Structure 1
Amino acid sequence: MSALLERYNGFLLDAFGVLLDKHQALPGAVELIETLKREGLPWLVVTNSASRLPETLSAELDALGLRVPPEHILTSGSLLADPEHAGPLTGRRAVVLGPRESAVYAERAGAVVVALTDDVDAEAIIIADQKDLRWPEQMDQLLSLLLRRLDTGRPLQLLLCNPDLIYPVRPGRVALTAGALAAMVEAVLHERWPQAGLGFVRLGKPSPAIFEAAQRRLGADRPVMLGDQLATDIAGAAAAGIDSVLVGTGLAPAQGQVTAGAQPTWLLPSLAH
């Protein structure tokens, strides 16, 4: 970690799997945040979470000893308000999968959030988070809405805040997340309309959208991304031209399993090293 602090002048930090798991701060995380503050280096927590607003996530991190102000948090949910990447949402009726704060992200982007019911009509489907999902009822309702609109030639805006398929709960335990729900829907799309190229617009890592937003806010000419997932943190950073560090906690692959398709610049066993 000390060598990285000497080499780079800006730090993008994944949250789950690097700074914390579902229950606790991970080794070295508290010390890293305090060091970045003390050295005056720009830093930003870049997370695919879209279930909590930055101020809520900041309070949860604080309870674990991680002093991360809201202005140092960039969530994938905030990208809903970026029409360049998410498309226009102002005035559009949207159903949102996720807890109440996921709907707040959509409302702040100008969408009119409507409840997901058996006969609802909407112009946008936003999969933000798996939390509070009523399974399988809401997925059935979501697919029915999708078929009703697309079968009658009416457009439907499909947005995915969190492309992650799984997230770390604790060592040896993972759970499905929003990206897995979107993958199920896309399997139906590809089978029913195989030539249409239908799918979700992805806003979180590895999407260029969140890395562009992160670099604008960071303002550093030598940034580095610290993450635990090859497919999101590392691949996304590489596509954005940013060096990356695969931290060997969270969902990092076992040693020797890093493929040529998503090569990190550096390997680090944990933030404590």
Structure 2
Amino acid sequence: MTTQKFSAISAPYKAILLDSYGVLRNHRGLIPGVVETVERLRKEGKVIRVLTNNAARSPEAAAKNLVKYGLHGIPAEEIITSGATTRHFLTHKIQAGKVAYLGTPQSAEYIFSAGLEAVAVADVDMARLDEIKAVAFLDDEGYDMNHDLNKLINLLRRCQVPVVVANTDLLYPVSANDVALATGSIARLAEYVLGRRFVSFGKPASQMFQFAIDSMAGQAPDLTPADILMVGDTLHTDILGGNTFGVSTALVLSGNTQPETAELEIRSSGILPDFVCSSIGD
């Protein structure tokens, strides 16, 4: 497997879509060279968007978090979160009522901003399930894995309501070598047990990519998929999503996909990035 320099990879494209964790930062902090790369992309006239499956933060909070790590060049309006696409769905599909959610109180802001009432699964009154109009898987934390997940399964056995998954990631890193189950894994387990299919947002689903293109229309009205490069560290979300949407893809080895296993993972998954590079900082 041959890796290439990101500066050479990105040169022909008008727009760059960047995953956040694993591309801009990782467990060690900001990835070396990221600040300089973002500045270079700006000088070259590239349009930048950050696409993150993290539904725990609003775009404003995500931008502040990047500033905390030392990256000041990404404003909130350039960040597309899976929570924002979930909010769009809830706004148009659920007119009123309560949405039961798994996640932190902060992640429930997407429900409130859709004009709905959010109630944590732990607080749902099982005797009044007629009040629940939808269920949302929002964040990896904020609930008891045993008690709340079992309660959710029983809730969904009794309620035929829309279920949305804001974060389709299966794992998230907790240290340099260890991972934990992410929201997408919990949702898949529930789908399997219940024999149902939920509405999924976040990469690899196409909604985030379409949101990104729509948001860039003012800066680049003639933009086509051929002008766009998606950069990510995960084959099954970033690269698969970009490939499916028809944009070029670059896998970086600075996050979830490790240099020593990357070639094997590409071969075994059949998900082929157009490019592979060490990081966007090289």
Give the TM-score, by structure 1 length.
0.89
Q: Return 180-189 or 110-119, whichever deviates more.
A: 110-119
Give 2:255's aligned residue. 250
Give 1:272's aligned residue. 281
Is the counterpart of residue 133 in structure 1 residue 143 in structure 2?
yes
What do residues 195-238 of structure 1 show as CA deviations (whole Å, max 9, x unaligned)? xxx21111100001111111222343301000011111001101
1:209-248 correspondence runs (5 A): 209-219=207-217, 220-221=223-224, 222-248=227-253
How far off its partner does 1:102 sit? Answer: 1.6
Amino acid of the residue matched to residue 208 of structure 1?
Answer: S
How far off its partner does 1:86 sit? Answer: 8.4
Identify the match of residue 52 of structure 1 among 49, 54, 57.
57
For 2:156 and 2:92, how far apart are their aligned partners in 1? 18
Give 1:163's aligned residue. 168
Amino acid of the residue matched to residue 77 of structure 2?
Answer: E
Do 2:19 and 2:238's aligned partners in 1 also have CA atoms closer than 8 Å? yes
For 2:199 and 2:91, how far apart are their aligned partners in 1? 7
Give 1:193's aligned residue. none
For 1:77 and 1:215, how far apart are their aligned partners in 2? 17
Q: Return 15-24 or 62-71, whichever deviates more.
A: 15-24
How far off its partner does 1:144 sit? Answer: 1.5
Do 2:34 and 2:281's aligned partners in 1 also have CA atoms closer than 8 Å? yes
Give 4+ residue runs of structure 1 displaced > 6 Å after superposition: none
Amino acid of the residue matched to residue 271 of structure 2?
Answer: A
Instruction: State the number of aligned residues.
Output: 260
SS in 2 for 1:101: coil
Q: 1:86 to 1:229 in 2, by over 3 A?
A: farther
Give 1:18's aligned residue. 23
Give 1:202's aligned residue. 200
Give 2:115's aligned residue. 110
1:149-188 correspondence runs (5 A): 149=159, 155-188=160-193
Q: 1:118 to 1:93 in 2, by over 3 A?
A: closer
Do 2:49 and 2:80's aligned partners in 1 also have CA atoms closer than 8 Å? yes
Give 2:220's aligned residue. none
For 1:263 and 1:86, how far apart are their aligned partners in 2? 35
How far off its partner does 1:115 sit? Answer: 3.7
What is the RMSD of the two structures over their aligned residues, measured on CA atoms?
Answer: 1.9
For 2:81 and 2:27, how far apart are their aligned partners in 1? 17
For 1:41 and 1:141, how far apart are their aligned partners in 2? 47
What runs of 5+ residues in structure 2 fail to find an aligned partner? 1-5, 218-222
How far off its partner does 1:82 sit? Answer: 2.5
Amino acid of the residue matched to residue 204 of structure 1?
Answer: G
Q: 1:90 to 1:23 in 2, by over 3 A?
A: farther
Is the counterpart of residue 9 in structure 1 residue 14 in structure 2?
yes
How far off its partner does 1:40 sit? Answer: 2.9
1:30-41 correspondence runs (5 A): 30-41=35-46
Is the counterpart of residue 81 in structure 1 residue 87 in structure 2?
yes
Q: 1:66 to 1:93 in 2, by over 3 A?
A: same
How far off its partner does 1:4 sit? Answer: 2.4
Q: 1:169 to 1:2 in 2, by over 3 A?
A: same
For 1:52 and 1:226, how far apart are their aligned partners in 2? 21
Do 2:10 and 2:229's aligned partners in 1 also have CA atoms closer than 8 Å? no
Do 2:235 and 2:251's aligned partners in 1 also have CA atoms closer than 8 Å? yes
Q: 1:86 to 1:169 in 2, by over 3 A?
A: farther
Identify the match of residue 148 of structure 1 among 151, 158, 164.
158
SS in 2 for 1:82: helix
How far off its partner does 1:170 sit? Answer: 3.7
For 2:95 and 2:135, how far apart are their aligned partners in 1? 14
Do 1:17 and 1:168's aligned partners in 2 also have CA atoms closer than 8 Å? no
